[in-house]
Chains A and B, each alone.
Chain A
């Protein structure tokens, strides 16, 4: 039966049922869909059954791939009959919104908005430094659109009914919900495409995303372009085949058998690349060939060999104390200490060591205090401290692993590792770090972050100098020759428009800081002025120049939100358009020293870009910062006018910025602006690359990177007042003591020799004295 047929049948059936219910005077209820509760139980065989499964849609109806407009498959009804869907949905990857315990802090989701300079850590788990999404005004819908690219379905992408009803502005009825995407991890097929998942989520094709990403079918159309009144039962939009095209699936019929069963090529134990789609971490700008794998992976272990789970998908995270926290005693044998030493979190020998052939570490010559005060990962994981604080990019924060024409990955937020810090058990371990940056309303000690859209609305034009300059350049590019590019040259930089409507900057050889900005034309390496200096009254002037001016003025006339009519001033002559024709007139006296291209507004000659715009983009050029202090000050003033209660502040680079009583921007250190950290465990390095392999001075020396390397806080704000901390400060250790202790290792070889000589002399004398006493006791010596 086609979907349309089913729909009409359901409609008739539903109406009939409603009549009967009303007639009986009983309250209307929605019966839960019937499910086969005979969930599979492992029979002990280690093989995986071939998964020829009839696909079912979200209405629990069998999908016939060849029918017209088939629905996407639903994991709940396709996988659910054998595998308890609701139990799976409570697992680590899906249950953050409802989990009773948060567990050890992990990487928060980072909402990044370069324009407003926002890097906001978010998590449904109660982790220090992270904000509950609802507390900052993010609904499950917002969260799904922001981070769904790296969500494995369910969780906020499959919100409870109460959440859906509380936010009618969300478009769940159009997009559907993204159920647990079993294939994201368990699909063995090379067709599994994480990039496709990200694209489908961005298109709001949530109910179609798993089908598309798993390679089960090809999905076209975009739910994001449909009206909010559209429902999946409405079917295709017959009036629009170009823009608002309804999402549809074209199944790969070759993977179906004659009984319409689809062949899922599945893995019981997901392959590493399935995990790494969302859990990759790599040094920024590193070449792929130079990246080493984790030593466990190199030895042939898979991620899931340690990070195991049962049907409840409560993944073993592998940290000490997890067994006690979760009640899963088996977890104790999947920590470093459990597997390699057979020790539980308290050091008790309660765990069988050597799981999966884990070698017992020698740790020859390492004093015991190291095992009490340091996590195993300090010496064995992450980049070595001598490589400095390493800037890394992670899949979820920097949007890695989404491939296509557009570049999805970003350099921001800046995540740094390894930062050694004490954990809840006061044991030092390596962490990753990010400095949050956000606008907030302060009420007493409490900070309530503002959504970027709120800041942008209040800030108006303050945050858009790049956009304004880009609009001018894009307009001018309409009348440029093929080998010409419109440019703004300012100081040592030139700015050109890019395809995204933004600005690309480049260094200019001849430019110097402080030099006046000018609009130009890039022709190869040359930058020619857009409006050359010439005498308009001269008889021998270039006849083409006025034609060119007319083109420029026509192009500038297309700039949206322009402050006035375009004009060009050359010496005492003013060029402008009148009825589409070039009007050349003598410059009015009130325009004074006007020169070059600009806007005529109420008798004033305004430059094409304001000094503020040029100053701002020039200051930020060559940096990754997106805000200047001037912008922050202006935005704070703008926010102060709109904020109902409390002070407006901005946090970036470890400092809190606010306006002082004179209206000037002032900053101070603030705990709220402090870095958000979470422990890192991978990549684990081999023993020969661990700290201490080269001796005590790997860490204990007068200038050790481990203790004394310093890190300067970074954030979207271009400032010189960023926070600066040493590695020892992160550890909560005294820098002076560590320096003195480190210096003592200079004389330690001599110290050892002295002790050895003393022990040898005293030992020898003791031996002789003992012999003497023994000889006298026995009477040997007297007889002689």
Chain B
């Protein structure tokens, strides 16, 4: 029962965080007050307005056009199909895994489970190729830091959207590694029942970390793509 609660809160928090990031970086009224309660009021008002606007715009045609507008379709053929397989498998894994974990006490079973296992294999292979060939794009060059109290000042940590996106990428990769390992180990004659039980929970929470990292990465990526270029 703990896992569904943690999942719902974590996903809701991440979406709110991404929304607030957008609100903070795009809306002038966000910085017009120093009172936290006032900022929060304006944020939720904006969020509600956006939600209504988006729901009015939402349609299968709009959704399909959004999918078609994704940059992956413009990638070279090999890269394009790699991303299709990667995103497709990840979406199925997340959908099947979380749906059964949250809404069905029995958990994942039957044909969805077979699909989950197959998609898991595809995801692991795609992730490996992406890390191998694209990981270099997400290596940052941080400055060497000096030992001072500034290390603990969030304003001086240099937290930018780009850096968060990079950390989200590596968190996603790390979670993907743990997912692969926690799927593989129970299949080997190594773990006894307590080990199996631990690995089952570990797989779930790794999946949650992976999904959250994916949300952050995707959210920031989509926001950056939509954002009008600075004048």
A residues apposed to B, CB below 8 Å: 361-369, 371, 734, 737, 740-741, 744, 748, 751-752, 754-759, 761-763, 765-766, 769, 772-773, 776-779, 782
Q: Which of B125, B170, B191, B196 contacts A766 (CB 8 A)?
A: B170
Asked if B180 and A364 make an inter-chain contact with CB atoms under 8 angstroms apart, the answer reads no
Q: How far is the CB of A352 from chain B (nearest CB, A)?
A: 18
Asked if A740 and B196 make an inter-chain contact with CB atoms under 8 angstroms apart, the answer reads no
Asked if B131 and A765 make an inter-chain contact with CB atoms under 8 angstroms apart, the answer reads yes
Q: How far is the CB of B179 from chain A (nearest CB, A)?
A: 9
Asked if B142 and A362 make an inter-chain contact with CB atoms under 8 angstroms apart, the answer reads no
Asked if A364 and B124 make an inter-chain contact with CB atoms under 8 angstroms apart, the answer reads no
Asked if A766 and B184 make an inter-chain contact with CB atoms under 8 angstroms apart, the answer reads no
Q: How far is the CB of B75 from chain A (nearest CB, A)?
A: 21
Asked if B110 and A758 make an inter-chain contact with CB atoms under 8 angstroms apart, the answer reads no
Interface positions, chain B 68-118, Cβ under 8 Å from A, are 107, 109-111, 114, 117
Does B229 touch A at the CB level, under 8 Å? no
Interface positions, chain B 119-162, Cβ under 8 Å from A, are 121, 124-125, 127-128, 131-132, 135, 139-142, 144-145
Asked if A366 and B196 make an inter-chain contact with CB atoms under 8 angstroms apart, the answer reads yes
Asked if A773 and B142 make an inter-chain contact with CB atoms under 8 angstroms apart, the answer reads yes
CA distance A116 to B177 in the complex (A): 69
Q: How far is the CB of B93 from chain A (nearest CB, A)?
A: 14
Asked if B188 and A762 make an inter-chain contact with CB atoms under 8 angstroms apart, the answer reads no
CA distance A368 to B109 in the complex (A): 13
Q: List 29 A-B contacts (CB under 8 A).
A: A361-B193, A363-B193, A364-B190, A366-B193, A367-B186, A368-B193, A368-B200, A369-B107, A369-B109, A734-B110, A752-B187, A752-B188, A755-B183, A761-B132, A762-B124, A762-B176, A763-B177, A766-B174, A766-B177, A769-B135, A773-B139, A773-B140, A773-B142, A776-B142, A776-B144, A777-B144, A777-B145, A778-B144, A782-B144
Q: Which of B117, B132, B170, B187 contacts A365 (CB 8 A)?
A: B187
Does B227 touch A at the CB level, under 8 Å? no
Q: Which residues of A contact B191 (CB under 8 A)?
A: 364-365
Q: Which residues of B contact A368 (CB under 8 A)?
A: 193, 196-197, 200
Task: Given the known inter-chain contacts A737-B110, A752-B187, please indicate yes or no for A759 contacting B177, CB distance below 8 A.
Answer: yes
Task: Given the known inter-chain contacts A368-B196, A778-B144, please indicate yes or no for A759 contacting B180, CB distance below 8 A.
Answer: yes
CA distance A765 to B173 in the complex (A): 10
CA distance A361 to B188 in the complex (A): 17
Task: Given the known inter-chain contacts A751-B121, A758-B127, A782-B144, please indicate yes or no for A769 contacting B139, CB distance below 8 A.
Answer: yes
CA distance A744 to B117 in the complex (A): 10
Does B228 touch A at the CB level, under 8 Å? no
Asked if B117 and A777 make an inter-chain contact with CB atoms under 8 angstroms apart, the answer reads no
CA distance A766 to B145 in the complex (A): 22
Asked if B125 and A762 make an inter-chain contact with CB atoms under 8 angstroms apart, the answer reads no
Residue ID in chain A nearest B146 by CB atoms? A779
Q: Tally chain B residues at the interface, Cβ within 8 Å.
A: 40
Q: How far is the CB of B16 from chain A (nearest CB, A)?
A: 28
CA distance A362 to B176 in the complex (A): 29
Q: Could you list 15 further interchain pairs (A-B, Cβ under 8 angstroms) beyond the known A752-B184, A762-B128, A765-B135? A: A361-B193, A363-B196, A364-B191, A365-B191, A368-B193, A369-B109, A740-B111, A751-B117, A754-B121, A755-B124, A755-B184, A759-B177, A762-B124, A772-B139, A776-B142
Asked if B141 and A776 make an inter-chain contact with CB atoms under 8 angstroms apart, the answer reads yes
Task: Given the known inter-chain contacts A366-B196, A737-B111, A762-B176, please indicate yes or no for A754 contacting B125, CB distance below 8 A.
Answer: yes
Chain A interface, >50% SS class: helix
Does B8 touch A at the CB level, under 8 Å? no
B residues apposed to A, CB below 8 Å: 107, 109-111, 114, 117, 121, 124-125, 127-128, 131-132, 135, 139-142, 144-145, 170, 173-174, 176-177, 180-181, 183-184, 186-193, 196-197, 200
Q: Which of A363, A754, A778 contacts B124 (CB 8 A)?
A: A754
Inter-chain CB contacts under 8 Å: number: 100
CA distance A365 to B186 in the complex (A): 6
Q: How far is the CB of A642 from chain B (nearest CB, A)?
A: 52
Q: Which residues of A contact B174 (CB under 8 A)?
A: 766
Q: How far is the CB of A701 from chain B (nearest CB, A)?
A: 15
Q: Which residues of B contact A365 (CB under 8 A)?
A: 186-191
Asked if B142 and A761 make an inter-chain contact with CB atoms under 8 angstroms apart, the answer reads no
Q: How far is the CB of A138 from chain B (nearest CB, A)?
A: 43
Asked if A367 and B196 make an inter-chain contact with CB atoms under 8 angstroms apart, the answer reads yes
Q: How far is the CB of A692 from chain B (nearest CB, A)?
A: 10
Residue ID in chain A nearest B184 by CB atoms? A755
Q: How far is the CB of B196 from chain A (nearest CB, A)?
A: 5
Residue ID in chain A nearest B113 by CB atoms? A741
Q: Which residues of B contact A361 (CB under 8 A)?
A: 193
Q: How far is the CB of A624 from chain B (nearest CB, A)?
A: 40
Q: Which residues of B contact A757 (CB under 8 A)?
A: 128
Asked if A762 and B144 make an inter-chain contact with CB atoms under 8 angstroms apart, the answer reads no
Q: How far is the CB of B116 from chain A (nearest CB, A)?
A: 12
CA distance A748 to B131 in the complex (A): 25
Asked if A758 and B142 make an inter-chain contact with CB atoms under 8 angstroms apart, the answer reads no
Q: How far is the CB of A259 from chain B (nearest CB, A)?
A: 61
CA distance A737 to B190 in the complex (A): 27
